[in-house]
Amino acid sequence: MDTLNESQRSYNMSQIKSKDTKPEMILRKFLHAEGIRFRLHGKSKGEKLPGTPDIVLPKYKTVINVNGCFWHGHQGCKYFRLPKSRVDYWEWKISRNRANDILNKHKLTEMGWNVITVWECEIKEKRRETFHNLLLLLANIKTKAKQT
């Protein structure tokens, strides 16, 4: 049972951001400090990309999605736990988000884009390792692009 009335719950939900989240801002700050320039929220040279990716790296033909563990249903993560109220709704919502993630990744890949997903928990708990691995991955993508 929800402890908030409908208007309180509606207000709380309206305050949840889908862009410029804290994990996204941390990653953007890191990329900028590394000299990696990017575009935001799914645009590259005026082209709107499927799924509105959080970070677009045109130089690498790569997008980075910074996924919230709850909203995208990160399996096995301590930050993902279905609410006890309205279970049917939340199962539907999370499964729809997952399906959209898969569909958008497929569309981007078909368009020739590399897709990287960084999870909220990776930034919270293993930031240094995650950022190091991201740099290695981008270097690998850049090397492969030069070879073709």
pTM: 0.84
Domains and CATH numbers, the chain: 16-147 (3.40.960.10)
Looking at beta carbons, which pairs linking 1-9 to residues 24 or more positions away fall under 8 Å? Answer: 1/85, 2/85, 2/86
**Amino acid of residue 28:** R
Q: What is the pLDDT of residues 17-66, one digit of tens each?
A: 566 789 999 999 999 999 999 998 876 677 789 999 999 999 999 999 99
Average model confidence (pLDDT) for the chain?
A: 88
